[in-house]
Amino acid sequence: MCGIVGYIGMQEACPILIKGLRRLEYRGYDSAGVSMINEKGELNVFKAKGKVDDLEAFLSDKDISGTIGIAHTRWATHGIPCRENAHPHFSSSGTLSLIHNGIIENYATLKERLIEKGFTFVSDTDTEVLVQLIEYYKLEYKSDLLSAVQRALAQVIGAYAIAVLDKNNPDEIIAARKASPLAIGLGEGEYFLASDATPLVEYTHKVIYLDDDEIAVINRNSGLQIITLQGQAVNHEVSEINLDLGAIEKGGYEHFMLKEIFEQPDCLVNCMRGRINPEGTIVRFSSVIDNAEQLLNARRYIIVACGTSWHAGLIGKTLIENFCRIPVEVAYASEFRYSNPVIGNGDVVIAISQSGETADTLAAIELARSRGAFVYGIVNSVGSSIARNTQTGSYIHVGPEIGVASTKAFTGQVTVLTMLALCIAKERNTITQAELEEALGELLAIPGKMAEVLSQNDAIASLSRTFTYAQNFIYLGRGYNYPVALEGALKLKEISYIHAEGYPAAEMKHGPIALVDAEMPVVVVATNKLLYDKVLSNIQEIKARQGKVIAIVVKGDDTISKLVDYVIELPETAEFLYPLLASVPLQLLAYHIAVCKGKNVDQPRNLAKSVTVE
Ligand code: M6R
C-alpha cells in the first residue's frame, strides 16, 4: 500500500523516480508526486491526482531538475484522493518534504498539539503531521534533520516507511521504517530507495532491507549509514536480488493479470523444481527436515492469511487433514491478531502471503510467536518481512505478481501446500510410498493439464461476453472446490465490480437459493468424484428456479453437461488437485468480463496489491 521511491547520485533523479513509481503503481494509484532539490538549492514538490501518467503530464512544463529526490504513489488512508492529500508533503516552512507508506495512528493527538504551537495544515493526511512534527523538533532543538527525525519517530504510534529531504542539506536523504517495507539499492556512487526491489533491479542487484525501528542516513559524500531509532550503528547484510527484468514487464500481453494467468504452468514447474524428483518418488522440503520435531509432532496447525491467500489456506486445511491427520484451523489474520487464541508450544502456525508484507498477517505471526507457537511462512516475495519474521518456510517461486488480483500466487500457494502435506504425511507414515508416488505423478502432470485448460481461453472470452451485464453471480463448490468457489467470486468482485458470492453448494437451500432467478448466473465447480450426485442435485435445484448455470466439469462428463447452460471442461486428475485446474477458468472468466466492462484490470479501484496497513 503506497509505493515510495528515492534517489541520490549523479544522474537526474526525476526520470528514475517516475520509472520507479510505475513499477510500484500496483501498490496504490490514486495520486502521485515527486520532490527534488535542484542545483539552485530549491526544494520542489509536484503532485497530481490520478495515475503516474497524470503526474508525468503535469511535470511536462516544470523544473524537474536535481540529482536527489523522493517520490510516492498513494493508496488513500486519511483523506480523499486529491492533489492536496498526495505525497510528498511539505513542512510549513517549505524546507522539508516527506513521503510515507503506513498509518500514523496517533496523528490526531499530534496534530492538535502542533496546531496549538501555531502549525497549519493543508491536507487531511496523517503524513503531513509527521513532516510538521519533524520540523517542530528541528526548530525547537535547533537540531539537524536526523535528530529531529529520531525525536519525531519516538512520538509516533503506527506503521511507517518514510523518506525525507531537507532543502538545507541537498546531499542527504533520511529514511526510516517500522512495519512497512523499505529497501535500499546500492549503486556505484548512487543509492536508490524503494518499497520493494522491483524499481531497483535495472540499476543494481545489491540491496539492503531495513528492519523495524531503523533509520538510514544516505549521504552523497559519506555514503550509507544505518542506525537504530536510538542511534546505535547497525551492520546490515547486503542481499543479492535475482529478479529478471522481463518478469516485471507485460511481455506482449494486454494486462499483467492475463500474463500471470498464462504463466501458471511454468510457475508450477518452478515451484516443484528441486522439491519433487523427476521420477515422482520423493518430495522434500529442507524446512521439514530441519524442523522435523516441531512440524511432524505438532498438536495442531493454524493457518493465518488474508484474501486469496486465506482461500489457499482453506485448501491447505483439507490437504493437511486428509493426508497428515493433523487438525488444522484457518483464521483470517486480521481476526486472529485481535483474538486471544489458545495457542502455544506444540502448535504450528502457517502464515501464507504473496507479498510477504501484509500488516495483519505480520501481526498474527508476532502474536503466535509471542505465545510460543512455531511459525512457518509460505511466501512469494523473496526477502519480504514475513519471510524474515517466520522461523522457517517455503517460497512459492512464481516470480513477481504485479496484477492486483492474485492468480499465479494462488496456484503457487496451493502447490506448496500440496507438496508440504504430502511431505509431512510421508514422514509421519500417514500415507504409503505407493500413495505418495500416485499423488506426485498426478501433481507433476498438472502444468501440462493447466496448459490444456488455458487453450480454452477464446471460448471463455466469448462466454464472458454473455455475462458482461450481470448484476450478481453465485459461485458454488464442495470439498476441495468450495475455496475455489470463494476465490472465483473474489476475482470477479475485485476486477469487474460485479457482486459475487461463493458458497458450499449444499448451503444454497439454507437461504441463498432465494436469490436465484432467470437473471442469476451460477458458476458450479462440479468436478467432485465422491460427491458427484450431491452436486448434480444442487444444480437441479438451481435449474428448477431458472438460474443460468456455468459448470466446470471433468472432460467426458455427460450428465451435468447436459443439464446446464454452459460447460467448461477440465482434464481428469486426482480429486485433491482439481483446485489447481478449476481456478484457471474462473480467473479467465473474471478477467474477460472485466475487460468487456472496460475496467482497469491490473489496477482495480480502491485496491492495492500489498496491504501494509490495517
Ligand atoms: O500479499 P498477501 O497474499 O498477504 O495479500 C493478501 C490479500 O490482500 C490478497 O490476496 C488480496 O485479497 C488480493 N487482491 C486477491 O486477489
Domain containing 563 equals 452-601
Please report how the helices 307-324 and 408-428 are oriented relative to each other, as an axis angle in degrees rounded to 10: 20
| Whether residue 231 is found in the same domain as residue 141 | yes
From the CA of 139, how far away is ligand 1's center (Å)? 42
pLDDT of 28 > 90? The answer is: no
Is 611 inside any structural domain?
Answer: no
Position 529 scores a pLDDT of 87
Ligand 1 pocket check for 308: Cβ under 6 Å: yes
Grid cell for residue 108: 490526531
Q: Please tell me if the CB atom of residue 587 comes closer than 6 angstroms to any atom of ligand 1.
A: no
DSSP helix/strand/coil, 594: helix
Of 510, 547, 505, nearest in space to 527 by CA: 505
CATH number at 597 reads 3.40.50.10490
Domain match, 413 and 503 both: no
CA angle 252, 583, 251 (to 5 degrees): 10
At 246 the pLDDT is 77
Q: Is residue 610 part of a domain?
A: no
Choice between 534 and 432, residue whose per-residue pLDDT is larger: 432
d(CA 145, CA 218): 12
User: How far is ligand 1, taken at its centre, from the CA of residue 380, in Å?
Assistant: 11
pTM attached to this predicted model: 0.85
| 274 belongs to a structural domain | yes
Identify whether residues 119 and 238 lie together within a single domain.
yes
**Ligand 1 pocket mutation pick from 27, 257, 611, 614 by most atoms within 8 angstroms of CB:** 611
Residues 122 and 18 in one domain: yes
d(C-alpha 559, C-alpha 136), whole Å: 74
Question: Quick one: pLDDT band at residue 606, thresholds 50, 70, 90?
Answer: confident
Strands 3-8 and 191-194: antiparallel
Cα-to-centroid distance, 384 and ligand 1 (Å): 15
Whether residues 79 and 112 share a domain: the answer is yes
Q: Are 104 and 127 in contact (CB under 8 A)?
A: yes
What's the confidence (pLDDT) of residue 509? 86
Q: Of the candidates 338, 341, 339, 337, which has an alpha carbon nearest to the alpha carbon of residue 351? A: 337
Residue 512, Cβ density class (10 Å: 0-12 exposed, 13-18 middle, ≥19 buried): middle
Ligand 1 mean position, distance from CA 158 (Å): 21
Do 224 and 320 fall within a single domain? no
> Residues 412, 396: contact at Cβ < 8 Å?
yes
Atom from ligand 1 closest to the CA of residue 386: 4
Given a cut of 80, whether residue 1 has pLDDT beyond it is: no
> Do 300 and 384 have their domain in common?
yes
Which of 315, 332, 354, 602 most suits a substitution to test ligand 1, by most atoms within 8 Å of the C-beta? 354
Question: Cα(244)–Cα(16) distance, rounded to whole angstroms?
Answer: 18
DSSP-assigned beta bridge partners for residue 209: 183
Does 245 score more than 80 pLDDT? Answer: no
Is residue 612 a part of any domain in this protein? no
Average pLDDT over residues 604-611: 84
Q: What is the CATH number of the domain that holds 216?
A: 3.60.20.10
Q: Could you tell me if residue 614 is inside a domain? A: no
Please give the Cα distance from 204 to 241 (Å, whole number): 8
pLDDT at 26: 83
In whole angstroms, what is the distance from residue 189 CA to residue 221 CA? 9
DSSP annotation of 173 reads E
Rounded CA gap, 49 and 58, in Å? 10
Average the pLDDT over each of 45-59, 74-88, 308-322, 343-357 and give the range with the smallest value.
74-88
Please check whether residues 233 and 260 belong to one and the same domain: no
The β-bridge partners of 162 are: 100, 176
Q: Which protein residue's CA is at the shortest distance from atom 8 of ligand 1?
A: 307
pLDDT at residue 611 in the model? 83
pLDDT of residue 304: 98
CA 531 to chain centre: 34
- CA 404–ligand 1 middle distance (angstroms): 8
> Once rounded to an integer, what is the mean pLDDT over residues 110-121?
96
Same domain for 38 and 13: yes
User: What is the C-alpha to C-alpha distance for residues 507 and 40, in angstroms, rounded to an integer?
Assistant: 69
State the average pLDDT over residues 467-478: 94
Write out the three cell numbers for 536: 448434480
The answer on pLDDT for 410 being more than 80 is yes
Q: Dihedral sign for Cα 567, 571, 575, 577, please.
A: negative
Q: What is the average pLDDT across 143-159? A: 96
Mutate to test the pocket of ligand 1, among 1, 334, 355, 398 (most ligand atoms within 8 A of CB): 355
611 lines ligand 1 (CB under 6 A): yes
Going from the C-alpha of 411 to that of each of 135, 256, 311, the distances in angstroms are 48, 16, 11
pLDDT at residue 99 greater than cutoff 80: yes
* 374: Cα within 13 Å, side-chain hemisphere: 20
**Distance between CA 167 and CA 42 in Å, rounded?**
7
Query: Which of 122-136, 213-227, 234-248, 294-308 is least confident?
Result: 234-248
Question: What is the distance between the alpha carbons of residues 359 and 356, in angstroms, rounded to a whole number?
Answer: 9
Picking from 183, 209, 243, the residue at the C-terminal end of a domain is 243
Q: Is 427 helix (H, G, I), strand (E, B) or coil?
A: helix
In this structure, which residue's CA is closest to atom 4 in ligand 1?
A: 353
Handedness of CA 337, 343, 345, 346 (dihedral sign): negative
Residue 106 covered by a domain:
yes
Distance 310 CA to ligand 1 centre (A): 8
Task: Classify residue 41 as left (phi > 0), alpha (psi -120 to 50) or beta.
Answer: left
Ligand 1 nearest atom to the CA of residue 407, by list position: 16
Total of domains in the chain: 3
Smallest CA separation from ligand 1 atom 11, residue? 307
DSSP 8-state secondary structure symbol assigned to residue 418: H
Last residue of a domain, one of 228, 243, 258: 243
Q: Please give the grid coordinates belonging to residue 572.
A: 481428469
- Ligand 1 centre distance from Cα of residue 614 (Å): 13
**Following DSSP, what letter does each residue of 277-329 receive, concatenated?**
-TTS--B--HHHHHTHHHHHS-SEEEEEE-HHHHHHHHHHHHHHHHHH---EE
Q: Which residue's alpha carbon is at the smallest distance from atom 14 of ligand 1?
A: 405
Question: Residue 462 pLDDT > 90, yes or no?
Answer: yes
105 is a domain residue: yes
Residue range 104-126: average pLDDT?
A: 95
State the DSSP H helix or E strand holding residue 132, giving kind and residue range, or none if neither: helix 126-140
Question: From the CA of 431, how far away is ligand 1's center (Å)?
Answer: 32
The helix or strand, by DSSP H or E, that contains position 8, with its residue range, turns out to be strand 3-8
Q: Give the residue numbers marked as catalytic.
A: 2, 609
User: In Å, what is the CA distance from 189 to each residue of 11, 104, 105, 183, 203?
Assistant: 10, 33, 37, 17, 12
Mean pLDDT of 451-467: 96
Is the residue at 208 inside a domain? yes
Lowest mean pLDDT among 25-34, 49-58, 80-89, 184-193: 25-34
Residue 237 in grid coordinates:
547484510
Four-residue CA torsion sign, 140, 111, 69, 14 = negative
Under the banding of pLDDT at 50, 70 and 90, the label for residue 179 is confident
| Same structural domain, 334 and 426 | yes
User: Is ligand 1 within 6 A of the CB of residue 353?
Assistant: yes
Ligand 1 centroid from CA 272, angstroms = 22
Note whether 42 and 98 are within 8 A (CB). no
| Mean pLDDT of the chain, nearest integer | 95
Are residues 339 and 193 located together in one domain of the fold?
A: no
Q: Residue 356: its pLDDT value, please?
A: 94
| pLDDT given at position 494 | 96
- Give, for ligand 1, the residue of 309, 335, 416, 486 to mutate: max count of ligand atoms closer than 8 Å to Cβ: 309
Q: Of all atoms in ligand 1, which is nearest to the CA of residue 405?
A: 16
Q: Is the CB of 583 under 6 A from ligand 1?
A: no
pLDDT for the residue 252: 85
Question: Is there an atom of ligand 1 within 6 Å of 195 CB?
Answer: no
Q: Are strands 96-104 and 374-379 parallel, antiparallel or unpaired?
A: unpaired
Instruction: Give me 131's grid cell.
Output: 513532516
Closest approach atom of ligand 1 to CA 607: 14
Ligand 1 atom at minimum distance from 308 CA: 10
> Confidence band (pLDDT; 50, 70, 90) for 282?
very high
Judge if 121 and 149 occupy the same domain: yes
Q: Which of 420, 444, 468 is the last residue of a domain?
A: 444
508 pLDDT band, cuts 50/70/90, is: confident
